[in-house]
Amino acid sequence: MSAHGASEGPLERFAVSPTRRRRDKAARTAILAATVIALIPLVLIIYYLLRKGLGSWSVDFFTTDPTGNTFFKNSQIGGIKSAILGTLEIVALASAIAIPIGICMAIWLVEYGRQSRFANTVRFAVDVMTGVPSIIFGLFIYIALVVGTGSTYAGYKGSLALALLMLPVVIRAAEVILRLVPGELRESALALGAPRWRVTLRIVLPTALPGMLTGVLLAVARAAGETAPLLFTAGATLKTNFNVNQFTNSLPVQIYNDVISPTTSVEHRAWGAALTLVSMILLLNVLARFVSRRSRLG
Amino acid sequence: MEAAPVPGGGRAVLERSPLARLPDRALRYALTALAAAFLALIAYFFVRLVGEASPAFEKFGIFGFTFGRNWNVSAEHFGALPLLVGTLITSALALLIGVPVAVATAIYATELCPQRLRSPLTVLVELLAAVPSVVYGLWGIFFLAPKLQPAEQWLADRVSFIPFIGGGLVTIPNYFVTGLVLAIMILPIVSAISREVMATVPSDQKEAALGLGATRWEMIRTAVLPFSRAGIVGGAMLGLGRAIGETIAVTILIGDAPKLSGHLFEQGYSLAAVIANEFGEAQGLHRSALFAAGLVLFVLTLLVNAVARGFVLRAARPTRRQDAATDEAARHPETAGP
């Protein structure tokens, strides 16, 4: 830390008094200390994830299904194949639903709805949805698709719950970028005789798409780590399953069930699965940062 | 279909045939219908949630359910006060611990940090937001809670004369550990919003303070903090909304005991945790009570988020430039940051 304000020589009488200087030093030290404290949990989490998680990683860990939570030896608890594949299925389907709908909603808000009362109501609803706890989205889908329908949990219901969670994030991200598309671009296309729908779909959308990708990837990353919306929609199972109309396992639910299980041997599986999940999410985040650097808008 | 000759002279040449205008209308109507469907869907979910919760509200009364002191599954008696109190205690702890640290990191990153360290520091704090809730729960219950328990017991023994903190047997899952982990979880969002608001403090105000002979800290205290206060409060409230709705980490760490323990280092429960933990086996009135708990949680987060938005938007008023930045931060907390 460098000294500020203290001057020597003819400006001596403007010098900062020792008390004030001490106070400045103390405050700055406290701020630095708090910043270091903020980083301690991150270091500890990463350290423990690597230490415990890498220990349970092996080829078998990724190629076998888990064997449940009963009393097994470490070597018999199985891997997380069904959880990895299930997470990929559920999140891919959720993205396939939420991303197109979210972008369409954003296009409507920016190009058609604008500042109309209806559009502002929709914006308000999107704002409200952003703050809704994730478990409530699980309850919504449970009410709509599980209770009273005679059916039970299924992977696609988990996808719908995650899609609800992603939707407001995607809409917001896309709206921000669409607003950045210069009005001159639209006006020149319209002046050349292009109809409105062509301007929207062929000029505005392609210009904005690369910029939207960052927000979209962050939304996908957030959805991939969610446990609560999946508990009562996708359920949990041990077997690998490519049919999203049945119970589908996922990494977060697998970790949760291992953590709350009374058996300690499955703790290793939880750490290994957690390291896998965090790696996947970090990859998406890095990708989002990389993409945002390459976009011309935003 | 051929375009009929339109009376009116030269304009007709430029006019499109009705057929050519069809896609325009189709796109507009389709998108508008989508937006309407979105609103309808939200309304439908809300109405159904109220409907599913109503048996519990009818049995115990809205007030009697929300503030009932007893949550007893086997006796089929459901009062949500222990859950509500657990949610409020843990969220308040999260704010108490998390906000000062988050604001300090924001000050350090915007005012004190060497330019080269600024971006890496921001990225590191943002990394905390990338860790999923369940991983915080895993780390908290297997590492943090057991490591902290002796220290907590030592503290409780030393200050046994203070109610709520002192005395009693410290359990491994408890309110305090839950609040601490929640503090870590809300740190990135509070820090990101504080940082964005602080970045909009006009540099002439900061320079004026320094020019009058203020030290760095005095400049921060007299120029930066007053200017960004409303934004910081708004960010803290958004963090509070997160903490209240946080489910899985809390379920793992709070111990899932539906009692009004009145002790910081004892097991408790929260609104979100009770749903995650009991919903799978719940039937009849129990399930309705869990939906009702969900509704209470929903309303609570709505209130907190509305207040937060008010604060963040108020912070936005002084200048246009700040308006854009804080508005963005308020609407879009997930991607707030660099």
**Residue B251 confidence (pLDDT):** 96
CB contact under 8 A, B302 and A285: no
Nearest residue in chain A measured CA to CA from B98: A38
User: Based on the number of CB atoms within 10 Å of its own CB, is A115 exposed (0-12), middle (13-18) or buried (19 or more)?
Assistant: exposed
If pLDDT is split at 50, 70 and 90, which confidence band does B4 have? Answer: low
- ipTM of the shown complex: 0.90
What percent of chain B has pLDDT above 90?
A: 69
Q: Confirm whether A213 is domain-assigned.
A: yes
Q: Confirm whether A284 is domain-assigned.
A: yes
CB contact under 8 A, A38 and B301: no
Query: Helices (DSSP H) in B108-174: which residue ranges?
Result: 115-130, 133-139, 145-158
CB contact under 8 A, B247 and A232: no
**Residue A227 confidence (pLDDT):** 95
pLDDT above 60 for B325: no
**Residue A2 confidence (pLDDT):** 45
Regarding whether A98 and A21 lie in a shared domain, the answer is no
User: Based on the number of CB atoms within 10 Å of its own CB, is A195 exposed (0-12), middle (13-18) or buried (19 or more)?
Assistant: middle
A102, two tokens: 């979210």
pLDDT above 50 for B335: no
CB contact under 8 A, B215 and A20: yes
Integer Cα distance of A275 and A79 in angstroms = 13
Q: Confirm whether B45 is domain-assigned.
A: no
CB contact under 8 A, B45 and A143: yes
Measured between its terminal Cα atoms, the distance across chain B in Å is: 55
Q: Confirm whether B306 is domain-assigned.
A: yes
Residues A56, A272: contact at Cβ < 8 Å? yes
pLDDT above 70 for B189: yes
pLDDT above 80 for B233: yes
Local structure of B268: helix, strand or coil? coil
Q: Confirm whether A4 is domain-assigned.
A: no
- Comparing C-alpha atoms, which of B212, B193, B170 is closest to residue B312? B193
**Residue A68 confidence (pLDDT):** 72
Q: Confirm whether B1 is domain-assigned.
A: no
Q: Confirm whether B29 is domain-assigned.
A: no
Integer Cα distance of B81 and B163 in angstroms = 20
Q: Confirm whether B10 is domain-assigned.
A: no
pLDDT in tens, B100-126: 999 999 999 999 999 999 999 999 999
Q: Confirm whether A65 is domain-assigned.
A: no
CB contact under 8 A, B131 and A259: no
Measured between its terminal Cα atoms, the distance across chain A in Å is: 35
**Residue B309 confidence (pLDDT):** 82
Q: Which residue has the higher pLDDT, A94 or B158?
A: A94
Q: Which domain holds residue A29?
A: 9-56
Q: Which residue has the higher pLDDT, B272 or B335?
A: B272
- Name chain A contacts of B187, Cβ cutoff 8 Å: 38
**Residue B293 confidence (pLDDT):** 96
Q: What are A216's strand-pairing partners?
A: none
**Beta pairing class for B77-78 and B71-72:** antiparallel
Count CB pairs under 8 A between chains A and B. Answer: 251
CB contact under 8 A, B21 and A4: no
| CATH value at residue B256 | 1.10.3720.10
CB-nearest partner of A277 from B102, B132, B142 = B132
pLDDT above 50 for B320: no
Integer Cα distance of A88 and A161 in angstroms = 15
**Residue B318 confidence (pLDDT):** 52
pLDDT in tens, B130-154: 999 999 999 999 999 999 999 999 9
Regarding whether A240 and A146 lie in a shared domain, the answer is yes
Q: Would an 8 Å CB–CB cutoff place B141 in contact with chain A?
A: yes
**Residue B5 confidence (pLDDT):** 52
Q: Model's pTM, two decimal places?
A: 0.89
Q: Which domain holds residue B250?
A: 62-335
Q: What is the pLDDT along chain A (298 residues), one digit of tens a residue?
A: 444 444 455 666 667 888 999 999 999 999 999 999 999 999 999 999 999 999 889 888 899 888 876 656 656 788 899 999 999 999 999 999 999 999 999 999 999 988 899 999 999 999 889 889 999 999 999 999 988 777 789 999 999 999 999 999 999 999 999 999 999 999 999 999 898 899 999 999 999 998 899 889 999 999 999 999 999 999 888 888 888 888 999 999 999 999 988 777 788 899 999 999 999 999 999 998 888 877 766 5
CB contact under 8 A, A122 and B31: no
Q: Which of A51, A103, A136, A152 to mutate to test the interface with B (most CBs of B within 10 A)?
A: A136
CB-nearest partner of B108 from A32, A226, A285 = A32
If pLDDT is split at 50, 70 and 90, which confidence band does B329 have? Answer: low
Regarding whether A290 and A249 lie in a shared domain, the answer is yes
Other Cβ atoms closer than 10 A to A259: 23
Q: Would an 8 Å CB–CB cutoff place A169 in contact with chain B?
A: yes
CB contact under 8 A, A134 and B143: no
Other Cβ atoms closer than 10 A to A112: 18
Regarding whether A220 and A118 lie in a shared domain, the answer is yes
Per-residue DSSP letter, B281: G
**Number of residues that this document lists for chain A:** 298
Q: What is the least distance, in Å, from the CA of B334 to any CA of chain A? A: 7
**Residue A5 confidence (pLDDT):** 47
**Residue A23 confidence (pLDDT):** 94
Find residues 66-105 of chain A whose CB sits inside 8 Å of chain B: 101, 104-105
B97, two tokens: 């611990």
CB-nearest partner of A256 from B16, B218, B248 = B248
Regarding whether A165 and A126 lie in a shared domain, the answer is yes
- Distance from CA of residue A211 to its chain's centroid? 17
Q: Confirm whether A66 is domain-assigned.
A: no
Please give the tally of structural domains in chain A: 2
Q: Confirm whether B94 is domain-assigned.
A: yes
| CATH value at residue A182 | 1.10.3720.10
**Residue A70 confidence (pLDDT):** 65
Residues B280, A232: contact at Cβ < 8 Å? yes
**Residue A9 confidence (pLDDT):** 59
**Residue B334 confidence (pLDDT):** 47
CB-nearest partner of B328 from A113, A176, A219 = A176
**Residue A74 confidence (pLDDT):** 59
Phi, then psi, of A15 in degrees rounded to 5: -60, 150
Q: Which residue has tokens 């197109």?
A: A100
If pLDDT is split at 50, 70 and 90, which confidence band does B316 have? Answer: low
CB-nearest partner of A104 from B31, B215, B333 = B31
**Residue A210 confidence (pLDDT):** 87
Nearest residue in chain A measured CA to CA from B26: A197
A242, two tokens: 């490519």
Integer Cα distance of B192 and B103 in angstroms = 9
Please give the tally of structural domains in chain B: 1
Q: What is the least distance, in Å, from the CA of A25 to any CA of chain B? A: 8
Integer Cα distance of B175 and B91 in angstroms = 10
